[in-house]
Amino acid sequence: MDAKVAKKVPVVEGLFTWPAEKPQLIGTRCRTCGSVFFPKKVACNNPACHEKKVEDVLLGTRGKLYSFTIQYYPPPPPFRYSEPFTPYGIGLVELPEGVRIAGILTTGDLNEIKIGMDVELVVDKLYEDEEGNEVVTYKFRPVK
Ligand SMILES: [Zn+2]
C-alpha cells in the first residue's frame, strides 16, 4: 500500500486558523482604539493612538467585495500557482470589522465577479509542492 498521503499545509503560518472546520483569518485588534489589522501586527498602526497594546482577534468569515482585478498572466516568482495557469480574480474584501483584505476570488466564471457582492472565506489549494503536499491559502468565494 502506498503510504504517501498528500497533506494540506498553510502557505504561511499564522494567517488563518488551520487545521479548522471553519477557518478564520487571524488579525490584530488594538485594545485602546479598537483598530483592526490583517495580517497580525505587533503594535497599533493608528498614528492617533498612544497606548498601542494589541491582541489577536479572529476575523469574520463573510464580507463584501470592495474592488477587484483579474490576474490574466502567471504571477512571477516568488508567487506560485496551480498548473496549468488559468486567469483568476483578486479581490479587496471589506470585513465587518472594517478591515479590507486582498485575496484570490474563487469563481468558475470571471464575469460573475461584481463589486458589492457578498463573499465568504474559504481555504483552498494554491499549488502543489515538491513533496506532493497541497499548499493552501485563504480565498474568497461568492455567497450564493
Ligand atoms: Zn490603537
Question: Mean pLDDT per segment of 10 residues, for the chain of length 144 residues?
Answer: 74 94 96 95 94 94 98 92 92 96 94 97 94 95 92
Distance CA 98, CA 109 (A): 28
The answer as to whether 36 is a domain residue is no
Q: Is residue 93 part of a domain?
A: yes
Do the domain assignments include residue 110? yes
CATH number at residue 122: 2.40.50
Residue 108 domain flag = yes
Strand bridging mode 118-128 / 100-105: unpaired
pLDDT of residue 82: 87
For residue 118, the model assigns a pLDDT of 98
**For residue 47, is it within any domain?**
no
| CA–centroid distance, residue 80 to ligand 1 (Å) | 35
Please give the pLDDT value at position 3.
54
Closest CA to 24 of 85, 82, 95, 81: 95
Beta pairing partners, 104? 90, 139
Q: Measured in angstroms, how far is the CA atom of residue 135 from the centroid of ligand 1?
A: 34
Return the pLDDT at 4: 63
Ligand 1 centroid–CA 28 distance in Å is 10
Interval between CA 100 and ligand 1 midpoint (Å): 17
Query: What gap in Å lies between CA 56 and CA 49, rounded to an integer?
Result: 18
Where in the sequence is the domain holding 102, given as residue range(s)? 61-142
Looking at residue 103, what is its pLDDT?
97
Could you tell me the distance, in angstroms and rounded to a whole number, from the CA of residue 59 to the centre of ligand 1? Answer: 17
pTM exceeds 0.85: yes
**Total domain count, the chain:** 1
